[in-house]
Copies of this chain bind each other. A is one copy, B any other.
Amino acid sequence: MLEQFDKAFESRIRLQIMSVLAANESYDFSSLKELLEVTDGNLASHLKALEKEAYIAVNKSFVGRKPNTRYVATEDGIEAFKRHLKSLEKLIKQQK
């Protein structure tokens, strides 16, 4: 039962981050923060958790002199996310 459920996506914020990164080539910290309506600290800690799983990767660069931190979903991350959604889908179907 829910064998494929991935603890990394247990949190709503991490589920949303992954959803955004699966649908976009990359996303920067500020836009992500705005979209998800979370604090810097909260977002940073969830991003770090996903990075630790190697589900997302960080891309640090400069736009002019301004630092620009962008996040991308890794192939592993996308695969894990899809498995997780399948497990949720199964749960939903059981309820119908």
CB within 8 Å of B: which residues of A? 1-2, 5, 7, 10-12, 15-16, 19, 22-23, 35-36, 81-82, 85, 88-89, 91-92, 94-95
The docked-state distance in angstroms from the alpha carbon of A81 to that of B88 is 13
Query: By the criterion CB–CB under 8 Å, are A1 and B35 in contact?
Result: yes
Interface of A is mostly: helix
Partner of A36, one of B1, B19, B85: B1
List of B residues within 8 angstroms of A35 by Cβ: 1
Collect the chain B residues with CB atoms within 8 Å of residue A94's CB: 19, 23
Would you call B91 and A85 a contact (CB within 8 A)? yes
Contacts of A1 in B (CB 8 A): 16, 35-36
The distance in angstroms between the C-alpha atoms of A36 and B3, with both chains bound, is: 11
